[in-house]
């Protein structure tokens, strides 16, 4: 904890009832939700937590009535700091900008990702951004997952932000994605209508969940654009905006997005995976993609101020384009057998 100064004024409190047997770090994480469990474990390791007057360990089992004394580090300032990070602008006017976000970039700061985000980048490039979403998300109307590339709208004006927000709320923003998946859906196109909620076990994942278990309506239209042996290129149009929606829905068909570790169990695709002659699994040159093959390809919406229609497209990024080239070269689907006359 030497890099994170502790507060000078410790907090003292009594453990609430019905907590007997819980680990100290887990209990503190449930009480101080603005701090990650790993940060709280470091606070404990630094000797800044006492239980009944004695320094405790993260694994210490607590009981109702125990007295805890803790010194916490100050919370991180949520306002994104300007960082000179290049951005690819697809469209810009005085009210909004549309950016082609690269993979491996978080949209806005959050616990564990305070820097290097799109919000940090746009703070550097623009003097004026909308404030509707709060100080930690200036100009941000919607988001993309960290390893999903593609189009995202940044708004400079509060009125434009509110009007655009209503378009998202009323499902008037057309979003089209490209995804490369393992296997291929049975149908050439269809709607997936399966509610999505938090995964019952894995905190970082979502899952198909019935409404009684917290699932919320989720609808995705898909169309298979190309089929390969063991893979497919799919166009996806989410009609709702649930977290990880396309990733969860494609997984629910038994065709998860390639290199999507939480939902497919694999974090890369290589030439060796495609059974290319001579390709070695451990050859770095043979790696095709190392993140979920999902790209926000097209956005269509009405400009919130001029009321003119806008349709914007971001081409496939190099890793997805490289993967498609390899699939076309090495995994072309066999022609269907001819029917006898």
Q: Is 158 annotated in the active site?
A: no
Tokens of 243: 């977290």
Residue 205, phi then psi, degrees to nearest 5: -110, 160
CA separation, residue 194 to residues 197, 240, 252, 334 (Å)? 10, 11, 9, 32
Task: Print burial letters for 236-261: b (CB count within 10 Å at least 16), e (below 16).
Answer: bbbbeebebbbbbbbbbbebbbbbbe
Q: What is the C-alpha to C-alpha distance for residues 274 and 251, in angstroms, rounded to an integer?
A: 20
Kindly give the pairing relationship between strand 96-101 and strand 287-289: unpaired
Q: What is the DSSP string of 94-154?
A: SSEEEEEEPTT--SS-BTTB-SSSHHHHHHHH-S----TT-TTSTTBSS---TT-EEEEEE
Q: What is the C-alpha to C-alpha distance for residues 240 and 170, in angstroms, rounded to an integer?
A: 10
- The single residue of 66, 145, 260, 273 carrying the catalytic annotation is 145
Q: What is the C-alpha to C-alpha distance for residues 328 and 58, in angstroms, rounded to an integer?
A: 52
SS3 245: helix
Residues classed as catalytic: 145
């Amino acid at each position: 904890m030497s890099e994170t100064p502790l507060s000078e004024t410790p907090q003292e409190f009594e453990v609430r009832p019905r907590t007997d047997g819980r680990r100290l770090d887990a209990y503190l994480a449930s009480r101080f939700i603005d701090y990650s469990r790993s940060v709280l474990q470091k606070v404990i390791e630094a000797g800044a937590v006492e239980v009944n007057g004695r320094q405790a360990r993260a694994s210490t089992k607590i009981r109702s009535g125990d007295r805890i004394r803790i010194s916490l580090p100050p919370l991180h300032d949520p306002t994104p700091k300007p960082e000179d990070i290049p951005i690819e602008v697809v469209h810009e006017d005085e009210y909004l900008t549309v950016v082609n976000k690269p993979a491996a970039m978080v949209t806005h700061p959050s616990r564990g990702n305070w820097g290097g985000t799109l919000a940090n980048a746009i703070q550097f490039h623009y003097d004026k951004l909308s404030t509707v979403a709060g100080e930690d998300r200036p100009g941000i109307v919607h988001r993309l997952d960290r390893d999903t590339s593609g189009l995202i709208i940044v708004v400079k004006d509060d009125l434009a932000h509110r009007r655009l927000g209503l378009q998202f709320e009323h499902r008037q923003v057309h979003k089209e994605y490209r995804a490369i998946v393992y296997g291929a859906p049975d149908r050439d196109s269809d709607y997936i209508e399966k509610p999505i909620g938090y995964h019952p076990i894995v905190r970082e994942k979502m899952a198909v969940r019935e409404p009684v278990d917290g699932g919320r309506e989720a609808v995705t239209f898909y169309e298979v654009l190309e089929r390969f042996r063991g893979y497919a290129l799919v166009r996806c149009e989410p009609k709702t905006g649930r977290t990880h929606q396309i990733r969860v829905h494609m997984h629910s068909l038994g065709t998860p997005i390639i290199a999507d570790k939480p939902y497919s169990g694999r974090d890369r695709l290589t030439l060796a995976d495609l059974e290319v002659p001579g390709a070695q699994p451990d050859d770095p040159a043979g790696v095709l993609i190392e993140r979920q093959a999902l790209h926000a390809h097209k956005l269509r919406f009405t400009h919130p101020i001029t009321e003119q229609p806008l349709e914007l497209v971001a081409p496939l990024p190099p890793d997805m384009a490289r993967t498609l080239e390899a699939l076309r070269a090495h995994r072309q689907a066999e022609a269907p057998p001819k029917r006898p006359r």
